[in-house]
């Protein structure tokens, strides 16, 4: 479809850019209350069957994803009109997904500013090599990249590693305020886990909390991956890069059922989010249904999702995703 101009899409999203206070508060309530109820039921279910505990971890993890989207909206300044309210709620909701609010917010802002740019690929996102870089890389670097891009590694370990481990450190923080935010998050998480564990038992705490954290972080990573990894996704060099084209053709519209969509915080309407990040998550579907240019975006089909793990390099010459070249020295390749 034809990419709209800034004036056209600006007018289209204007009615949806403002947060609605009662809806923001209600979203916190209808996410938080069921989460704590399910968490308590998971703890009590340990006396019955751990299979029941694991079953309950699925909706609990979905609610953590929803908490993350609230934190994400706060980072964009779209959940409340007040900057202070966004920062306070963003910090506390980020803790449910082990996310240090300020440091993550900066990295994510860079992702929005450069999504689809070949030169700045992967900023605030996944590690992405170009085809030329890969061909010219050492055997050791190619092997490491293949390991990183192996779907088993990426989709089963990547989310837990990133959120539970890497985000505990401030290596990517750009200033003192972001570094302090990381250690504040660690302090609060450590204190909460210590207090809860002292009351119910640390092993019991692990049995309840780990499956929630693992499922939530893994789901979040997979969801984020498919929002930009698909055939014909937009790539362009800086000199010809277009913000509008990157949003419409480089950010997917995942067609989900209403329940999954609710747990995902409507971030499946990612084309609208990248075009207008000031639109609160709970108004994305509303905007999609009301504006013809959004409805006309082709949804990402299951057939494309099923093969998206093979999109692991960017070809600078064609501006397209490609898989590892067949002619690369196979002796350097870890199974991928």
Note the pLDDT tens digit of each residue in 242-268.
Answer: 999 999 899 999 989 999 999 999 999
pLDDT tens digits along 124-175: 778 999 999 999 999 999 999 999 999 999 999 999 999 999 999 998 888 9
**pLDDT at residue 328, as a whole number:** 62
Q: What are phi and psi of 21, to 5 degrees?
A: -55, -50
SS3 content of the chain, % helix, strand, coil (to 5): 65, 5, 30
178-181: long-range pairs with CB below 8 Å, 24+? 178/100, 178/102, 178/103, 178/106, 179/103, 181/91, 181/100, 181/101, 181/102, 181/103
**pLDDT at residue 306, as a whole number:** 81
What gap in Å lies between CA 181 and CA 160, rounded to an integer?
A: 20
Query: Does residue 83 lie in a domain region?
Result: yes
**pLDDT at residue 332, as a whole number:** 46
Using pLDDT thresholds of 50, 70 and 90, give the confidence band for residue 336. very low
**pLDDT at residue 297, as a whole number:** 85
User: Tokens for 49?
Assistant: 């069957």
Mean pLDDT of 219-227: 92
Query: Does residue 247 lie in a domain region?
Result: yes
Element containing residue 313 per DSSP (H, E):
strand 313-315
What gap in Å lies between CA 35 and CA 37, rounded to an integer?
A: 5
What gap in Å lies between CA 24 and CA 281, rounded to an integer?
A: 10
Query: Does residue 65 lie in a domain region?
Result: yes
Query: Does residue 63 lie in a domain region?
Result: yes
The residue range of the domain holding 182 is: 6-332
Cβ–Cβ < 8 Å for 46, 204:
yes
Sign of CA dihedral 57, 102, 85, 83: negative
Query: Does residue 258 lie in a domain region?
Result: yes
Query: Does residue 1 lie in a domain region?
Result: no
> What is the residue whose two structure tokens read 């479809």?
1
Starting at the edge strand that comes first in sequence, how are the strands of the sheet with 129-130 ordered? Answer: 129-130, 313-315, 320-322
The total of structural domains in the chain comes to 1
Query: Does residue 252 lie in a domain region?
Result: yes
Q: Which residues pair with 296 in a beta bridge?
A: none
User: What is the value of pTM for the model shown?
Assistant: 0.92
Pairing of strands 313-315, 129-130: parallel
The residue that leads in pLDDT, 333 or 203, is 203
Using pLDDT thresholds of 50, 70 and 90, give the confidence band for residue 329. low
Percent share of the chain, pLDDT over 70: 97
Query: Does residue 99 lie in a domain region?
Result: yes
Cα-based angle 260, 186, 212 (whole degrees, multiple of 5) = 30
């Amino acid at each position: 479809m034809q990419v709209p101009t800034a004036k056209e899409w600006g007018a289209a999203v204007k009615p949806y850019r403002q947060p609605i206070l009662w809806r923001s508060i209600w979203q916190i309530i209808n996410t938080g209350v069921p989460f704590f109820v399910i968490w308590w039921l998971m703890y009590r279910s340990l006396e019955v069957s751990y299979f029941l505990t694991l079953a309950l971890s699925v909706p609990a993890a979905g609610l953590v994803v929803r908490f993350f989207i609230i934190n994400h909206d706060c980072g964009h300044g779209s959940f409340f009109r007040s900057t202070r309210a966004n920062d306070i709620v963003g910090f506390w909701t980020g803790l449910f997904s082990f996310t240090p609010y300020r440091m993550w917010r900066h990295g994510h802002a860079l992702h929005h500013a450069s999504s689809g740019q070949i030169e700045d690929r992967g900023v605030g996102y996944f590690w992405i090599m170009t085809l030329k870089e890969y061909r010219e890389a050492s055997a050791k670097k190619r092997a490491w990249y293949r390991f990183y891009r192996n779907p088993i590694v990426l989709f089963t370990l990547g989310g837990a590693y990133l959120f539970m481990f890497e985000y505990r450190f401030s290596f990517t923080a750009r200033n003192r305020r972001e570094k302090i935010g990381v250690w504040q998050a660690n302090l609060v998480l450590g204190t909460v886990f210590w207090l809860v564990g002292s009351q119910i038992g640390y092993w019991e705490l692990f049995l309840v909390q780990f499956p929630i954290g693992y499922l939530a972080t893994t789901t979040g990573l997979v969801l984020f991956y498919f929002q930009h990894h698909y055939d014909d996704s937009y790539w362009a060099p800086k000199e010809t890069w277009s913000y509008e084209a990157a949003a419409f053709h480089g950010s997917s519209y995942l067609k989900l059922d209403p329940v999954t969509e609710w747990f995902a915080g409507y971030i499946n309407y990612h084309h609208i989010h990248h075009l207008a990040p000031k639109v609160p998550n709970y108004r994305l579907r509303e905007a999609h249904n009301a504006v013809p240019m959004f409805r006309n975006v082709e949804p990402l089909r299951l057939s494309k999702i099923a093969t998206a793990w093979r999109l692991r390099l960017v070809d600078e010459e064609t501006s397209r995703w490609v898989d590892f070249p067949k002619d690369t020295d196979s002796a350097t390749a870890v199974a991928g």
